[in-house]
Amino acid sequence: MLSRGDLKLWLSGPGTSAARPLADGSTPAPGGWNRLVIECDDLDAAIAALRAAGARFRSDPVAGPGGRQVLVDDPSGNPVELFESGGR
């Protein structure tokens, strides 16, 4: 994780939860798994609100070493990770 002021850039590599296959068996491939991470205080509430709005999810929530995450597509089909820290 790189930080500058209030800006944080997360880089996920081999061995992180971002490298796990999805439920459909697809695995990370170059160019297809780059995503923005948005940290949220209540992942379950964010998921419920996005489902109600018709958002398309790429995964179910998963737990990793730092917390929980889920992948959702933005309106253009780009993946966005919603992340809830486990250290709160």
> Which of 6-15, 20-29, 35-44, 69-78 is predicted with the least confidence, judged by mean pLDDT?
6-15
Sole residue written with tokens 């948005």: 38
Q: What is the pTM of this model?
A: 0.66
pLDDT number for residue 48: 98
Tens digits of per-residue pLDDT, 13-25? 667 777 788 888 8
Angle at 1 between CA 57 and CA 29, to 5 degrees: 45
pLDDT at 56: 93
Domains and CATH numbers, the chain: 2-18+30-85 (3.10.180.10)
The answer to whether 36 and 18 have CB atoms below 8 angstroms apart is no
Average pLDDT over residues 42-67: 95
